[in-house]
Amino acid sequence: MKKLEDYVLSIPDFPEPGVIFRDVTSILQDADGLKLAIDELQNLLEGVDFDVIVGTESRGFIFGVPIAYNLHKPFVPIRKKGKLPRETISRTYNLEYGTATIEMHKDDIKPGQRVVLVDDLIATGGTIEACAKMVEQQGAKVEKIIFLMELAGLKGRDKLKGYDVASVIRYEGK
């Protein structure tokens, strides 16, 4: 039986020399890999009491929606600025070379709700930290943050101190 890591293609020197790109699409392209990824992420939520799953655009949608469906929970998307039609709240965060802004509908999360955040990858942690802050801005509590893959060498967990964070696959490098 294959492990989830066996489905991940590692592409050296992309997007720049010295970087190993971990390609999630190779998991999605294999039915067994996709099922294993969803199952493993869902297993990270055993014993967690929560109300709603929030996923980041776009790969957080890919993994968050099937988990929400399986567990009969609502799913809330967090999108890039300008993509949502109703009143939104937003958060701007730093990237390596600039900034980015993400948004969610203002009324998608209710005060007191317990939230799980889902994304495919944690690298520097900026995106998911911004997501957690928006959830908290709505008066909700982040119960857990889960990732399919973690690039531990980029120290993204440092931005998430105080949160329950878990990943299925952990790569020590960048």
Residue positions annotated with a catalytic role = 59, 96
Kindly tell me the burial class for residue 161, based on how many C-beta atoms sit within 10 Å of its own C-beta (0-12, 13-18, 19 or more). Answer: exposed
CA distance 9 to 21: 8
Residues in the chain: 174
φ and ψ at residue 33, rounded to 5 degrees: -65, -45
CA distance 111 to 120: 26
E strand intervals along the chain: 9-12, 20-23, 52-56, 75-80, 88-95, 98-105, 114-122, 141-151, 165-171
CA distance 117 to 147: 9
Selection from 91, 160, 147, 88 nearest residue 120 by Cα: 147
